[in-house]
A and B are shown apart, each in its own frame.
Chain A
Amino acid sequence: MKHKTPLLDQLESGPWPSFVSDIKREAESRAKNEKGVDFQIPADVCDDILGVLELTYVHKRTHWKHGGIVGVFGYGGGVIGRYCDQPEMFPGVAHFHTIRVNQPGGKYYSTEYLEKICDLWERRGSGITNMHGSTGDIILLGTHTPQLEEVFWELTHDIGQDLGGSGSNLRTTSDCLGKSRCEYACYDTQALCFDLTNEYQDYLHRPAFPYKFKFKFDGCPNCCVASIARSDMSFIGTWKDNIRIDQKAVAAYVAGELKPNAGAHSGRDWGAFDIQKEVIDLCPTNCMAWDGKQLEIFNPECTRCMHCINVMPRALRIGEDTGLSILVGAKAPILDGAQMGSLLVPFIKAEPPYTEIKELIEKLWDYWMEEGKNRERLGELIKRKGFQKLLEAMELKPLPQMVKEPRTNPYIFWKAEEVEGGFDRDIKEYRKYHQR
């Protein structure tokens, strides 16, 4: 190796896959270059990644500079500029720009496709990736400025693949695997995600918003892609009718023939399955009953939390009248504290061409683009202006489902038009009956 890395070397032991060993492996592969690749950035880039990271471990301060606006022509996102603050020591990573590639729904791949990405990134980049970034993209980690257009060209022309989003854009959308492999999925997360991604390409690539905007798609309330906590607009599958019950299978669980929670707890002896304790008593709405033979669910009281279905997936199934709930405004703490998504639409059907959903999205964006301040996430705008203003802009009727409880203060903002006679009055008329 080009640089000594005594600190990083200590991250090579232990059972978990070591990224240090992995980067070293790439460094060796580039040094050998058995396939005779015509490297477009320094062959020793991986050595320099390790070199600069080792130096960081010594200083305990990052060696990446703030700043560096780069991109591909006509796009306002998809590339993150990055420069090293020790370029003389580590010329291979003097530039180390990242490219976000819009991943396919459910993150399924053919090896043929992945090989193409690898070829491209071997020749024109560092050979190091993130599979995947937190938002979902394939992240190609580290290349030099002159390569950016070249990479984009090859991605679009040779691989048929576009960049993802960054900056004040619609960010790369992401979904749970949904109907492709999960029996809980209440709508086709992949289809909706793909449709909206294509519909709103322009917003993904050209900053038009006050700040970032994220869609995430969860097929059911288990929220495997965490849409409720980290998307400005989350789409969470749900159903309106009854949970389907297979009483024979319920009996099989009770008899110990089927493993509860699909076997998720098999690592320890929790004793025999106790339907009363593990299902009936844990139902948060107390809407279930078990008389020793029959399982009963009083569905109008059920909040579709998924617990009973998770515990007995072979006995219970989501209903058949399925759709999704829309929640808005989730974000991480910066700036004003973390926010969870708030329920805007309790239930909407999710069937192509998703016209109703698109109308809602566009109304929401209009409102945010009109009222949002620079760098204000949707959740912060809703907090600043109030939920009622949002409903007004969305032309939605207020529903008790939207709140946990009604307000505890009576400081109600009445509008002139809501009060008989309006706000305009005549002080002279008033004084006729009331001395000063």
Chain B
Amino acid sequence: MPYDPSNPLKDRITDIGPKSYEEFLPPVIKNNFGKWAYHEILEPGVLVHVAESGDKVFTVRVGGARVMSISHIREMCAIADKHCDGYLRFTTRNNVEFMVDDQSKVEPLKQDLLSRKQPGGGFKFPVGGTGAGITNIVHTQGWLHCHTPATDASGVVKAVMDDLFDDFTSMRMPAQVRISLACCLNMCGAVHCSDIAILGYHRKPPMIDAEVIDKVCEIPLAIAACPTAAIKPAKIKKPDGTDAQAVAVNVDRCMFCGNCYTMCPAMPLADADGDGIVIMVGGKVSNRISAPKFSKVVVAFLPNNVPRWPETTDCIRNIVEVYAADAKKYERLGEWAERIGWEKFFEKTGLDFTHHLIDDFRDPAYYTWRQTSQFKFTA
């Protein structure tokens, strides 16, 4: 019985929550739940987990674009029906995992996955993303769906992953490298703890849409939204000559975060030249060896050169290569940078150290200045 718009509350069901995960576990997983003994990465993208019972589950991990059509999902379902008894799973980093319970089923599955190509030549299901390599980039919505982005998401990720593809399918890094992208400071993707973070950033203060601001905005909310108190109430002349309640932005204090725009649609700040990308590095979330770390800004601006963002892909490739050549086994990017010292990080990567990289935001800034005479000379 379908929904009846004239009687919307009739037979309504609410608050049933998600489906239970138990319905979706492949039998071999269900049978050995909580009884796994060890695992091994057999080759890039292929894992085996061995249970105490001796049962094994083989996983083939493939990359996905996160933005997925239902035709693509249906194709995955067909593969899972053919090889995996109708089960599959996704990872937090938008990879897809196909699981089988016998080693003999791995190769046919892998070949099937790798044989499927897009018209432009790209893999539909590239196998990889395990171990000390570069796995899928987690990212946000970007120009495809959001109202505040300073850069695209899917397009940048496609460009970067094309460039790093060989490191998705291999494991030559000193440790895993997690790359994330958020298309604005809101960081829906929480990129602030990634080995390499690609962050969309505006560089111009908001405009004031005088014609409508007094109608569409709660002015006190816009004022309160500004973290640097850059906004104050002001009277302005509307195009029709009448006075209106509006706001003025103290440009010196604006850090272009876009919070005011989130609160007030009459304060847009997007700009073709102003917007671009900040590169941050050295963050991690794992507690392994060293404590979790925030990422640090190492490049203050790269332009939105559509459609392939060459400056961004080059910058990331450079950082990855220098890290891969210089870091010790097991050393995450941030651990490496801290060991050699950040001044050496800039020397080795050849990245330009500019005044934009010295923190000037409130208290946290002070803790990042050097308070010792111990430092290294760089060329």
Binding site for B on A (CB under 8 A): 7-8, 10-23, 25-26, 29, 46, 49, 53, 56-57, 59-67, 73-75, 82, 96, 98, 102-115, 117-118, 121-122, 127-136, 141-142, 149-150, 153-154, 156-157, 160-162, 174, 176-177, 179-183, 185, 188, 190, 194, 197-198, 201-202, 204-205, 221-230, 236, 259, 261-268, 270, 278, 282, 284, 304-307, 310-311, 313-314, 332-338, 340, 375
Task: Decide yes or no: A26 and B69 within 8 Å by CB, A17-B63, A332-B186 being known contacts.
Answer: yes
A229, closest chain B residue (CB): B193
Q: Are B90 and A131 in contact (CB under 8 A)?
A: yes
Residues of B within 8 A of A270 (CB): 329
Task: Decide yes or no: A336 and B227 within 8 Å by CB, A16-B161, A264-B171 being known contacts.
Answer: yes
A161's contact among B5, B18, B306, by CB below 8 Å, is which?
A: B18
Number of interface residues of B (CB under 8 A): 140
CA of A198 to CA of B70 in the docked complex: distance in angstroms?
A: 28
CA of A133 to CA of B25 in the docked complex: distance in angstroms?
A: 21
Q: Does B232 contact A (CB under 8 A)?
A: no
Q: Are A129 and B15 in contact (CB under 8 A)?
A: no
B65's contact among A22, A227, A282, by CB below 8 Å, is which?
A: A22
CB distance from A279 to the nearest CB of B (A): 9
A61's contact among B57, B225, B275, by CB below 8 Å, is which?
A: B275
CB<8 Å pairs between A and B, sample of 9: A26-B71, A62-B146, A111-B80, A118-B77, A134-B188, A150-B3, A179-B34, A266-B43, A338-B192
Residues of B within 8 A of A228 (CB): 285, 287, 292
Residues of B within 8 A of A113 (CB): 19, 23-24
Q: Are B86 and A223 in contact (CB under 8 A)?
A: no
Residues of A within 8 A of B140 (CB): 134
CA of A134 to CA of B93 in the docked complex: distance in angstroms?
A: 9
Q: Are B21 and A62 in contact (CB under 8 A)?
A: no
CA of A255 to CA of B26 in the docked complex: distance in angstroms?
A: 36
Q: Does B92 contact A (CB under 8 A)?
A: yes
Q: Are A132 and B306 in contact (CB under 8 A)?
A: no
Q: Are B123 and A15 in contact (CB under 8 A)?
A: yes
B5, closest chain A residue (CB): A149
Q: Are B18 and A104 in contact (CB under 8 A)?
A: yes
CA of A261 to CA of B192 in the docked complex: distance in angstroms?
A: 26
Q: Are A82 and B162 in contact (CB under 8 A)?
A: no
CB distance from A251 to the nearest CB of B (A): 16
Q: Are A62 and B149 in contact (CB under 8 A)?
A: yes
Residues of A within 8 A of B329 (CB): 265, 270, 278
Q: Are A62 and B34 in contact (CB under 8 A)?
A: no
Q: Are A18 and B118 in contact (CB under 8 A)?
A: yes
Q: Are A128 and B69 in contact (CB under 8 A)?
A: yes
B191, closest chain A residue (CB): A332
CA of A359 to CA of B146 in the docked complex: distance in angstroms?
A: 37
Q: Are A61 and B8 in contact (CB under 8 A)?
A: no
B90's contact among A61, A98, A132, by CB below 8 Å, is which?
A: A132
**1/0 contact string of B308-337 vs chain A (CB within 8 Å):** 100000000000000000000110000000
Q: Are A66 and B261 in contact (CB under 8 A)?
A: yes
A60's contact among B57, B154, B275, by CB below 8 Å, is which?
A: B275
Q: Are A57 and B307 in contact (CB under 8 A)?
A: yes
Task: Decide yes or no: A111 and B87 within 8 Å by CB, A17-B118, A118-B73, A153-B2 being known contacts.
Answer: yes
- Residue in A49, A162, A265 whose Cβ sees the most chain B Cβ within 10 Å: A265
B19's contact among A14, A21, A161, A304, by CB below 8 Å, is which?
A: A161
Residues of B within 8 A of A67 (CB): 147, 265
CA of A203 to CA of B96 in the docked complex: distance in angstroms?
A: 30
Task: Decide yes or no: A305 and B190 within 8 Å by CB, A21-B122, A23-B69, A162-B18 being known contacts.
Answer: no
CA of A113 to CA of B80 in the docked complex: distance in angstroms?
A: 12
Task: Decide yes or no: A110 and B24 within 8 Å by CB, A57-B306, A153-B3 being known contacts.
Answer: yes
**1/0 contact string of B32-74 vs chain A (CB within 8 Å):** 0110111111111000010000000101000111111111111
**Interface hits, B127-167 → A, CB 8 Å:** 130-133, 138-141, 143-149, 152, 154-155, 158-159, 161-162, 165
Q: Does B108 contact A (CB under 8 A)?
A: no
CA of A136 to CA of B94 in the docked complex: distance in angstroms?
A: 10
CB distance from B299 to the nearest CB of A (A): 17
A282's contact among B78, B145, B189, B330, by CB below 8 Å, is which?
A: B330
Binding site for A on B (CB under 8 A): 1-3, 5, 8-9, 11-21, 23-26, 29, 33-34, 36-44, 49, 57, 59, 63-74, 76-78, 80-81, 86-92, 94, 96, 118-126, 130-133, 138-141, 143-149, 152, 154-155, 158-159, 161-162, 165, 168, 170-173, 176, 182, 185-193, 225, 227, 257, 259, 261-262, 265, 268, 270-272, 275, 283, 285-290, 292, 294, 304, 306-308, 329-330, 361-362, 364
Q: Are A129 and B87 in contact (CB under 8 A)?
A: no
Q: Are B8 and A226 in contact (CB under 8 A)?
A: no
Residues of A within 8 A of B72 (CB): 22, 25-26
Task: Decide yes or no: A60 and B272 within 8 Å by CB, A177-B89, A183-B49 being known contacts.
Answer: yes
CA of A421 to CA of B229 in the docked complex: distance in angstroms?
A: 43
A11's contact among B74, B88, B158, B330, by CB below 8 Å, is which?
A: B158
CA of A114 to CA of B191 in the docked complex: distance in angstroms?
A: 29
A222, closest chain B residue (CB): B286
CA of A353 to CA of B198 in the docked complex: distance in angstroms?
A: 41
B272's contact among A59, A117, A304, A333, by CB below 8 Å, is which?
A: A59
CB distance from B86 to the nearest CB of A (A): 5
B173, closest chain A residue (CB): A267
Residues of B within 8 A of A12 (CB): 118-120, 122
Task: Decide yes or no: A131 and B73 within 8 Å by CB, A180-B25, A262-B38 being known contacts.
Answer: yes
A127's contact among B71, B80, B143, by CB below 8 Å, is which?
A: B71
B16, closest chain A residue (CB): A162
CA of A62 to CA of B187 in the docked complex: distance in angstroms?
A: 17
Residues of A within 8 A of B364 (CB): 337
Q: Are B289 and A130 in contact (CB under 8 A)?
A: no
Q: Are A98 and B145 in contact (CB under 8 A)?
A: yes
A57, closest chain B residue (CB): B306
CA of A106 to CA of B18 in the docked complex: distance in angstroms?
A: 12
A114's contact among B67, B77, B92, B287, by CB below 8 Å, is which?
A: B77
Q: Are B92 and A226 in contact (CB under 8 A)?
A: yes
CA of A122 to CA of B69 in the docked complex: distance in angstroms?
A: 9
- Residue in B90, B262, B272, B287 whose Cβ sees the most chain A Cβ within 10 Å: B287
B147's contact among A64, A110, A133, A174, by CB below 8 Å, is which?
A: A64
Q: Are A16 and B165 in contact (CB under 8 A)?
A: yes
Q: Are B89 and A118 in contact (CB under 8 A)?
A: no
CB distance from A335 to the nearest CB of B (A): 4
Q: Are B18 and A108 in contact (CB under 8 A)?
A: no
CA of A375 to CA of B26 in the docked complex: distance in angstroms?
A: 41
CB distance from B284 to the nearest CB of A (A): 9
B162's contact among A14, A23, A190, by CB below 8 Å, is which?
A: A14
Residues of B within 8 A of A154 (CB): 3
CB distance from B31 to the nearest CB of A (A): 11
CA of A424 to CA of B125 in the docked complex: distance in angstroms?
A: 74
B34's contact among A109, A110, A185, A337, by CB below 8 Å, is which?
A: A185
CA of A132 to CA of B188 in the docked complex: distance in angstroms?
A: 12
B188, closest chain A residue (CB): A134
Q: Are B288 and A310 in contact (CB under 8 A)?
A: yes
Task: Decide yes or no: A16 and B122 within 8 Å by CB, A62-B148, A267-B132 being known contacts.
Answer: yes
B20's contact among A15, A109, A194, A230, by CB below 8 Å, is which?
A: A194
